[in-house]
């Protein structure tokens, strides 16, 4: 039997660890799939790591990785994949919003020879209108940039060993798992699932962290914002030509434009355009700087190995 590693990033999920381990374990046992569960404690401030240690003592299927601080879900997923031993690896949320029954379905597709099995959200679960509008716009931009339809993408996936190794070889610090798993290609298919309600705890994403997540990922997958700067420049140039001609004609006809208002408006308009453009370019530069420094994506301070035999 081939081993399935289930990577579960967890940040402040003390209430969910044993429940997740039990639920996932029971479903995979019933389906007669050999598995290990790799919990990645993303520098939680509560007792998540103690819970992982406790569960690992009772259950040989559990392995754990503990970060030295909170590095974010993207890093946690990468660390989980790097420490997974399975011939295929799945990634799912700790809050069981990704139904574990779907894992079995994904595993069967993997057995049929698919190498990347994407979980696609049939419905997005409960969300506020503003949230879904923002998420919609973000995914439209990302889909355009990566030329992959991402409107229903999620982090719930099952990957073959080959695909996992390809992902792990990518050197970038700002990884974007959802898009990268599609970017690598391989023989892929998808499975639909319904997003479940979170039973314990609360969502770890604040509005601020979501905006940051969106910006980072747009920048890492698209140079569109910089091209918009160029287009804005061309637009302003045409306006300059028209206004310039008008001004000169008036000057030579003997009545120069007396437009203090025009001058103020022009300075304000062009000034703000320049500053916005600098901001866009500055953001790219800061991301380049982060990548160039080449710091590790995460630091591991503790580790537990699972004891499953293949």
Q: Which residues bind ligand UDP (CB under 6 A)?
A: 9-11, 13, 42, 70, 72-73, 76, 93-95, 97, 203-205
Q: Report the nearest approach of ligand UDP to the CB of residue 20 (Å).
A: 9
Q: Report the nearest approach of ligand UDP to the CB of residue 303 (Å).
A: 16
Q: Report the nearest approach of ligand UDP to the CB of residue 46 (Å).
A: 11
Q: Report the nearest approach of ligand UDP to the CB of residue 234 (Å).
A: 39
- What is the DSSP annotation of 11-65? SS-TTTHHHHHHHHHHHHHHTT--EEEEEEE-S-SSSHHHHHHHHHHH-TTEEEE
Among Mg ion, ligand UDP, none, residue 76 binds (CB under 5-8 Å by kind): ligand UDP
- Which tokens is 251 given? 């000057």
Closer of 44 and 188 to Mg ion (Cβ): 44
Closer of 13 and 36 to ligand UDP (Cβ): 13
Closer of 209 and 223 to ligand UDP (Cβ): 209
Q: What angle, rounded to 10 degrees, do the helices at 224-252 and 129-146 form?
A: 90
Closer of 45 and 307 to ligand UDP (Cβ): 45
Residues of this chain that interact with Mg ion (CB under 5 A) are: 93, 95, 97
Cα gap 106→119, rounded to integer Å: 8
Q: Report the nearest approach of ligand UDP to the CB of residue 17 (Å).
A: 10
Closer of 97 and 146 to Mg ion (Cβ): 97
Among Mg ion, ligand UDP, none, residue 217 binds (CB under 5-8 Å by kind): none
Among ligand UDP, Mg ion, none, residue 10 binds (CB under 5-8 Å by kind): ligand UDP
Among Mg ion, ligand UDP, none, residue 70 binds (CB under 5-8 Å by kind): ligand UDP
Cα gap 109→129, rounded to integer Å: 35
Measured at the CA of 180, the angle between CA 308 and CA 118, to 5 degrees, comes to 60
Closer of 114 and 154 to ligand UDP (Cβ): 154
Cα gap 76→277, rounded to integer Å: 33
Contact yes or no for 228/144 (Cβ under 8 A): no
Q: How many CB atoms lie within 10 A of CB 200?
A: 13
Q: How many CB atoms lie within 10 A of CB 2?
A: 13
Cα gap 3→295, rounded to integer Å: 32
The string over 158-186, giving b where at least 16 C-beta atoms fall within 10 Å of a residue's C-beta and e elsewhere, is bbbbebbebbeeeeebbbbbbbbbbebee
Q: Report the nearest approach of Mg ion to the CB of residue 133 (Å).
A: 20
């Amino acid at each position: 039997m081939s081993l399935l590693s289930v990577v579960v990033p967890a940040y402040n999920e003390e209430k969910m660890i044993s429940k997740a381990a039990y639920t996932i374990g029971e479903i995979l046992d019933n389906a007669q799939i050999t598995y290990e569960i790799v919990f990645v404690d993303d520098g939680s401030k509560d007792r998540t790591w103690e819970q992982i240690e406790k569960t690992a003592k009772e259950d040989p299927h559990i392995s754990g990785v503990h970060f030295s601080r909170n590095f974010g879900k993207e890093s946690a997923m990468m660390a989980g994949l790097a420490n997974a031993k399975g011939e295929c690896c799945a990634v799912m949320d700790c809050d069981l919003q990704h139904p574990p029954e779907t894992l079995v379905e994904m595993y069967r597709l993997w057995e049929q020879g698919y190498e990347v099995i994407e979980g696609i959200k049939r419905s997005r679960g409960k969300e506020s209108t503003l949230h879904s509008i923002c998420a919609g716009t973000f995914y439209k931009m990302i889909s355009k940039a990566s030329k992959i339809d991402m409107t229903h993408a999620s982090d719930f996936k099952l990957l073959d060993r080959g695909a996992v190794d390809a992902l792990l070889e990518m050197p970038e610090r700002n990884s974007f798992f959802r898009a990268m798993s599609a970017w690598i290609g391989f023989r892929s298919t998808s499975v639909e699932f319904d997003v479940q309600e979170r039973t314990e705890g609360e969502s770890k994403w604040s509005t601020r962290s979501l905006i940051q997540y969106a910006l980072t990922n747009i920048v890492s997958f698209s140079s569109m914002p910089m091209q918009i700067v160029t287009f804005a420049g061309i637009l302003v140039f045409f306006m300059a030509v028209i206004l310039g001609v008008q001004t000169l004609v008036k000057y030579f006809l003997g009545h120069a434009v007396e437009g203090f208002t025009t001058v103020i408006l022009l300075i304000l308009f062009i000034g703000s355009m320049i500053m916005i453009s600098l901001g866009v370019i500055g953001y790219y530069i800061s991301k380049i700087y982060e990548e160039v420094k080449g710091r590790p994506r995460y630091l591991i301070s503790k580790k537990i190995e699972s004891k499953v035999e293949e």
